[in-house]
Chain A
C-alpha cells in the first residue's frame, strides 16, 4: 500500500515503539502533523521547541528509551539546537525530526529555510537531509539504531515538505548497513590481564563511576565488582545514581564541587579505575597535577575518549557490562581497610565543616532544603535539577541510590533544562515521584513550559531555589572578580502567583521549619505544585576547586565565621 512520507514518519515511530513525541507544528512539518491524527502516538504540544528537545532528552534519561522531538523548519529547528547540544554532551539517545522547505526551493533562502543539517552537524551523533520519500523509512530506522548504539546520542532527520507529501510503498528495514556503526568489541584479553594485574598490585585503589554505567545498565555489576575487590567508589555528577550512595563503599561526588575528602582520595590513590566517565575538566582540575600517584585503567565504550584528557595505563574499550562480567570473576577478593580508614579520617574533617550542622542564623540555607526534600521523599524521587548552585547542592545533599533518579545537564550546563526535562521524565515514568529543582534564573528561561505541564495534567513538584541572584556566577564574582556583581542580581516574578496563573498551586517558604511540612503537603496532593524557597542570598557552594586549579587546592567552607581555610 502506498503511503505518504508523512504517514511513513508515524509508521516508523510506531514500529520503534515510540509512545510519545514532543513538538511544535509549523509550515514545513504540516503534512506530518496532519498524518499524526491517524496514529496513536501521543503528541505533547510544547511552548518553545527548546522545551521539546529537553523533554525528549529527559524522557530518554529517565527511561533509557529513545526520546523523540518534532519541529518545523527554520526557527523551529534552530530553537531545538540548545536541547540537541545538551543531549549530545551527555550522550542521551534522542531522535529529532524537522520539516524542511520543499526540495525545489532548497538553497534559495526560502521562507523559514535554514541549513539545519549544517547547523546541527557538530551537535549530533549523525544527521540526514531527506529529499526523497523513498528514503524516509530507511533514514528514520537508521536514526533510531544510531541513537541507541554504542555511546548513545542525538540524531536529526530533516525531511523536505515534498518528501512528506509524496507517496511510496512503505517498507521498514529491520537491518541497517552503516559503515561507521560499530558494535562494541569484547574487552581485549591482554588489556584485561593488565588491568587485573594493576588491580592486584594496588593498595589505594579507587573507582571513578560515570554516566556510562547508567547507559550500560551496569550498576549491579559495578556493585558486585566493587564489593568483591573492596574498592571505594567516587561519583561524577552524571554518575550519581550509578552506585548507591547509601552503600558503605560509596564516597560521594568528586571534582569541582565534590567532597574534599573524595578529591583527596583521588590525589592520594595509587590506582584509578575509571568506569564510563571521560575525565571532564570539572572532574580533574589541573591535568598536570591530577592523581599523580595513580596508575589508570579506563573502561570506556568510545575509543576517542581514551587518552583524550588523561593518559591511561590500560584501556578497556568495551561496553561496561561486558568488561565487568569479564573482570569480576577473575579479580581477587580483597579488603583495603587501611586505605578506607585514611579516607574516613579525611571525611571527619569534611563532616565538621558540613553546612548541615550549621544554623542559617534566621535565613534558609539551600543545602538544608535539599537535605529536607531528600529526607521527606525517602530518597526515592526522580530529581531533575537545573544548572547552577542549586544543582551542586542537590548533588551534594540529595542521596541517590538508583540509576536514572538524578537527571541534570552536566556536559553542556544548560540553564532552563529542568522543567522541560522533568516533563519528559514524568511521561516516561508516570508512576515516579518527579521533582524539579531549579534556581530562579534557570527556571525563568523555560518557565513557559508550566503551560505544557498543566495541559498534560502532570503531577510534577517544582522547587524554585530563589536567592535573587544568578548564584553560581555571583559566587565566581565573589571569589575571582572582587565581588563585582555584574549582571547577577536578578528580579523575579512572584513565583506563587505565576504558578497560580497557570492553574498550579504555589507556596512560598522562607524558614527551615516550613520546609518539611510544605514538602509533605504538596507530595500528598496528587497534582502539580510549585514551592518557592527564599534562601540565603549570598551563600556559596563549598568546597570549590577553582577552574584549572589542582584538585587538592580547594576553597573550603570557612571553619567558622571568619577566615577562609585552604587545604
Chain B
C-alpha cells in the first residue's frame, strides 16, 4: 500500500540528495516527493508518498530519522489530513470547444490558466482522487502535456496542535515494532 510520510528537515544543501540516496540504496519505492519551505526559517518539509509493499513504513521512517538533517518524521497515512496535489494539464481544445471545456473544469473547481489556438492549460488543485478524476475526464480530448506536483499533506485539527516541537521526535523512534 501507499504511505504518506511528512518529514521536517534542515534547509541545507544536499538534504534532498541524502533522502533520495537513502531510498535508492534501500530500494524503497518513492511514489512522489515534494519539498518546500515551512513556517520556520531553515526548516523544509517533505511529503513523501512511498510504496510499502516490500518494506513497511516504520522501517522507512526509522531510516529517514537516521539522517542527521532530519528533525522529525510522521506517518500521516492513518491520521485525518488535508492533502493536495496540483496539476497543470495542456489539453487539446479547438476554439469552438472552449466553452464546453470551461464548464467541465468548473465542476472540479479547476480553471483554465492559459489559452492557445488549439489547446488550453487547465489548472486543478485537490486531493489525488479529484485530480485523477479530472485527468480521466480530459484524457479522451487529448492530453498533450501534464505536470503534477505530487502530494502535500497537513494533519487536521487537534491532532496537529498537539504535535511535538521540531526535534522532539523521540516519541516516534520506538514505533517500528508496534504496527507490523
Contacts and interface: CB of A to CB of B under 8 A. Distances in A.
B177 A307 contact: yes
B142 interface: no
A125 to B, nearest CB: 8
B180 A180 contact: no
Given A117-B14, A122-B21, A307-B59, A181 B177 contact: no
A188 B175 CA distance: 10
A191 interface: yes
A121 interface: yes
A185 B69 contact: no
Contacts of A302: 62, 66
B50 to A, nearest CB: 14
Given A121-B21, A179-B10, A317 B68 contact: no
Contact of B174 (A125, A185, A312): A185
A64 B65 CA distance: 25
A307 B58 contact: yes
A185 B25 CA distance: 27
Nearest to A122: B25
A118 B21 CA distance: 10
Contact of A303 (B70, B166, B173): B173
A304 interface: yes
Given A304-B63, A307-B56, A307-B180, A146 B68 contact: yes
A179 B68 contact: yes
Nearest to A118: B17
Contacts of A179: 8-10, 68-72, 166-167, 169
A254 B5 CA distance: 38
Contacts of B18: 121
Contact of A304 (B8, B62, B68): B62
Contacts of A317: 173-174, 176-177
A180 B21 contact: no
B65 A185 contact: no
A183 B168 CA distance: 11
A307 B173 contact: no
Interface in A191-238: 191
Nearest to A151: B66
A334 interface: no
Nearest to A153: B66
A126 B68 contact: yes
Contacts of B69: 178-180
A308 interface: yes
Interface string B137-169: 000000000000000000000000000001101
B37 interface: no
B79 interface: no
Nearest to A311: B180
Contacts of A125: 66
Interface string A241-276: 000000000000000000000000000000000000
A353 B58 CA distance: 45
Contacts of A307: 56, 58-59, 176-177, 180
B53 interface: no
Contacts, number: 81
A182 B174 contact: no
Interface in A109-149: 117-118, 121-122, 125-126, 142, 146
B109 interface: no
A178 B66 contact: no
Interface string A344-364: 000000000000000000000
Interface in A321-373: none
A299 to B, nearest CB: 11
B87 to A, nearest CB: 32
B102 interface: no
Contact of A180 (B14, B25, B56, B71): B71
A314 interface: yes
Contacts of B21: 121-122
A311 B178 CA distance: 11
Contacts of A311: 180
Interface in A280-313: 298, 302-304, 306-308, 311-312
A191 B17 CA distance: 36
Interface string B45-73: 00000000000101100110111111110
Contacts of B58: 303, 307
Interface in B95-118: none
A315 interface: yes
B9 to A, nearest CB: 8
B57 to A, nearest CB: 11
Nearest to A318: B174
Q: Which of A188, A304, A307 has the largest count of B CB atoms less than 10 A from its CB?
A: A304
Interface of B: 8-10, 14, 17-18, 21, 25, 56, 58-59, 62-63, 65-72, 166-167, 169-170, 173-177, 180
8 contacts: A146-B68, A179-B9, A179-B167, A180-B66, A180-B68, A182-B169, A304-B65, A314-B177
The 7 closest A-B pairs by CB, nearest first: A179-B71, A315-B177, A304-B62, A180-B68, A303-B62, A304-B63, A306-B176
Interface of A: 117-118, 121-122, 125-126, 142, 146, 178-183, 185, 188, 191, 298, 302-304, 306-308, 311-312, 314-315, 317
